[in-house]
Structure 1
Amino acid sequence: MDDWLAHLKAAGGRQLNDHDWHFPEGGHRLAEGNGLIPLTHFRILECEGPDAARFLQGQTSANIDHADGAFAPLTAFCTPKGRMIANAEILKVSAERYWLLLDASLAGPLATQLGKYAPFYKMTLRHREDLAIIGMIGEPESWADADLPDLPRLDWHMTQQDDVLALRHPASRSRFVLILPASRAAARWDTLSRHAKPADTALWRRADIGAGVAWLTAEHSDAFLPQMINWEALGGISFRKGCYTGQEVVARAHFRGQVKRRLQIATLEGASVPAIGDEIRSAEDKRVGEIFQATAGDDTKHCDILAVINTSVDGESALFVGDRKLTLRDLPYPLERLDPERIVGD
């Protein structure tokens, strides 16, 4: 992994913190052409063994049977009180092996939590530090000569060829996640660079914001019910599977309509990026929400925001972060339950 990071630096990349990258030529404004982004803010936690599926079925909001090597469902891991410890995407890579794609800051805490139960099952948990994760933005045909697996045609689906796995994530422009051995990442990056410009992590984060997809970090853990980040609207909760940790609270909140805060996309005036958890207040100076994620916009005049806001607030409300105006935007999906069973059926 160190060789992979050194290669990114030699290619002009600069780490802004532990996980985010900046490239002077590509930057975070990719108006046209393809983008290539190191996704070092993600990690893979592996569950492997004869009992791996049974173990995960009792811990995740997804039905593990839906992870079939083609569909890669979203899921949440919750406390007994229904609050999310982490959210992830489940990838079935072989008959007894599953990968959990999640934010790097939560791989350790989730492994600790799951490790309390793992000894009772024939399976092992381990961090896959030997894997590299690369993001690609651009239409599938534009990568045709890049020696890749056939790229997935549907969001939250996967393809696999030898030791390279490809995922498709939603966005206004097609984007894909490659997972491959870190020992081969430098050569793969150089090949892909002939088809794309290296770009900042901020570009990927902005695509997540535009898609209304909220990845929890350590700063969010144990703070939200899955519905508060619209996880059921993205198919991340199966209400038809059996029990899992926190299931009773999550189901009660859904069927009794007890979710009083929801994820929203917004634009914030000014280029200074607010911090996670910064308060959102009404014109009457009442706290009505908080910043979930923020990144610089594609100009110097605004920031793109994911915010968790009281459901009593509508699009016409005057909202502020400090003295800066916050404007709500439309979500790209209906705010209603999407059963993963329907996705699999379709």
Structure 2
Amino acid sequence: MATVPSLDALNSGIRLHHLAALDIQGPDAEKFLQGQTSAQVSLADGRFAPLTCFCTPKGRMLANAQLMKIGDSHYRLLLSESLLETLTSHLKKFAAFYKAELTPLPELSLVGAGENARSIAETLDLPLPKAPGTQSANAHASVLCYPGDTPRWLFCLEDDTLIEALDDEGGRAAWQLADIRSGLAWLTEAQQDHFLPQMLNWEALGGISFKKGCYTGQEVVARAHFRGQVKKRLVRAELANSEAPTTGDTVINEASKAVGEVVNSAVSETGSIELLAVMNTKVMEEAMPVYIGEARLALLDLPYTIERLDPEQLAMGLAN
């Protein structure tokens, strides 16, 4: 049986085992990342933490992440735990040519918090960032503000004994439900090398810089944007009285033709299933009925518009 999310647990601080961190350090860390990631790395300045992704030469996503700057020549990627090992192995092939060291941190304590975040930040002597996508850090910990109607923050603890946190399945479900409601999909191993970044609405979330130079897959990603070739998009939807689908489950139309696939799902407080799925854009344009098995999907609004949002614009807004 799927776990119904507990918002009370989120407010106590919960361990986010489904996420992990990868550190990149060294004199060439920024230069190395600049050639691999969709972010303009210089925008990661210790205050703004841009969304980013890593692609194959064909523009398919190997991983998406949030890029934090922890200190001088020290960057941290937050991503799905299931992709930590494969992304590290991929990037090490290129890091060999730079003075940059990659350190996967599978045991780093990542703690999500809601209303309790202020007291946690005070304990860690950290300023609590207020805007989504902003961060602060010191020698002991760092904290990142997440998007959504429910205020929430993610803490990275260098010392696991600094604060107490719950190892609570309901709290993690609440966190993942908040991601779904924010239209924020984290790629997992099951769908690696499968989607263009735009299929997860990554440019609408400020996760792609179209103003930077080349990076792996950049030509394909830019061509898809400027030529309007993205025919699949991330959508938010709900299932009533149904079992939770799994990643990769097929979405079909009335003719039983595949029109999309599930990216992730979570049980809501009322027991319905909320999910994110990548679907053909015709589904939305023609308002066609769609199903998972025999259960009909109700399409829900995303909290953002599907249009390009430059990370440079986001960073400039923080500076003003």
TM-score normalised per structure 1:
0.86
CA deviation after TM superposition for structure 1 residue 199, in Å: 4.2
From 244, 267, 270, the equivalent of 1:273 is: 244
Alpha-carbon separation, structure 2, partners of 1:199 and 1:269: 20
Provide Cα deviations, 1:271-329, integer angstroms capped at 9, x if missing partner: 411111111111222211111101122123x2110010111112732111000110110
Instruction: Answer whether contact 1:73 1:236 (CA < 8 A) is retained.
Output: yes
| 1:135 maps to 2:106 | no
Instruction: Answer whether contact 1:208 1:214 (CA < 8 A) is retained.
Output: yes
Instruction: Answer whether contact 2:260 2:277 (CA < 8 A) is retained.
Output: yes
From 269, 273, 296, the equivalent of 1:303 is: 273
From 119, 135, 156, the equivalent of 1:179 is: 156
| 1:156 maps to 2:133 | yes
CA deviation after TM superposition for structure 1 residue 134, in Å: 0.2
SS, match of residue 46 in structure 2: coil
From 178, 183, 187, the equivalent of 1:207 is: 178
Instruction: Answer whether contact 2:120 2:163 (CA < 8 A) is retained.
Output: no
Partner of 1:239: 210
SS, match of residue 156 in structure 1: coil
| 1:335 maps to 2:306 | yes
Instruction: Answer whether contact 2:242 2:295 (CA < 8 A) is retained.
Output: no
Give, as a single letter, the amino acid of the residue that structure 2 aligns with 1:276.
Answer: T
Instruction: Answer whether contact 2:108 2:156 (CA < 8 A) is retained.
Output: yes
Instruction: Answer whether contact 1:211 1:332 (CA < 8 A) is retained.
Output: yes
| 1:115 maps to 2:92 | yes
Instruction: Answer whether contact 1:36 1:198 (CA < 8 A) is retained.
Output: no
SS, match of residue 297 in structure 2: strand
Partner of 2:21: 44
Give, as a single letter, the amino acid of the residue that structure 2 aligns with 1:107.
Answer: L
Instruction: Answer whether contact 2:114 2:153 (CA < 8 A) is retained.
Output: yes
Aligned length: 315
| 1:81 maps to 2:73 | no
SS, match of residue 315 in structure 2: helix
Change (3 A) 1:92 1:142: closer
Change (3 A) 1:33 1:250: closer
Partner of 1:314: 284
SS, match of residue 212 in structure 1: coil
Instruction: Answer whether contact 1:138 1:173 (CA < 8 A) is retained.
Output: no
Change (3 A) 1:187 1:160: closer
Which consecutive segments of 4 or more residues in structure 1 shift more than 4 A?
139-148
Give, as a single letter, the amino acid of the residue that structure 2 aligns with 1:72.
Answer: A
Give, as a single letter, the amino acid of the residue that structure 2 aligns with 1:95.
Answer: D
Change (3 A) 1:308 1:239: same
CA deviation after TM superposition for structure 1 residue 201, in Å: 1.3
Change (3 A) 1:198 1:35: farther
SS, match of residue 111 in structure 1: helix
Alpha-carbon separation, structure 2, partners of 1:338 and 1:33: 30
SS, match of residue 289 in structure 1: strand
CA deviation after TM superposition for structure 1 residue 95, in Å: 1.1
SS, match of residue 185 in structure 1: coil
Instruction: Answer whether contact 1:37 1:199 (CA < 8 A) is retained.
Output: no
Q: Percent identity?
A: 44
Unaligned runs of 5+ in 1: 1-15
Unaligned runs of 5+ in 2: none
Change (3 A) 1:76 1:296: same
Give, as a single letter, the amino acid of the residue that structure 2 aligns with 1:188.
Answer: I
Partner of 1:93: 70
Alpha-carbon separation, structure 1, partners of 2:126 and 2:141: 7
Alpha-carbon separation, structure 2, partners of 1:35 and 1:304: 23
Alpha-carbon separation, structure 1, partners of 2:292 and 2:179: 21
Change (3 A) 1:241 1:40: same
Q: Which moved more, 1:197-206 or 1:316-325?
A: 197-206
SS, match of residue 193 in structure 2: coil
Alpha-carbon separation, structure 2, partners of 1:110 and 1:32: 31
| 1:224 maps to 2:195 | yes
CA deviation after TM superposition for structure 1 residue 61, in Å: 0.3
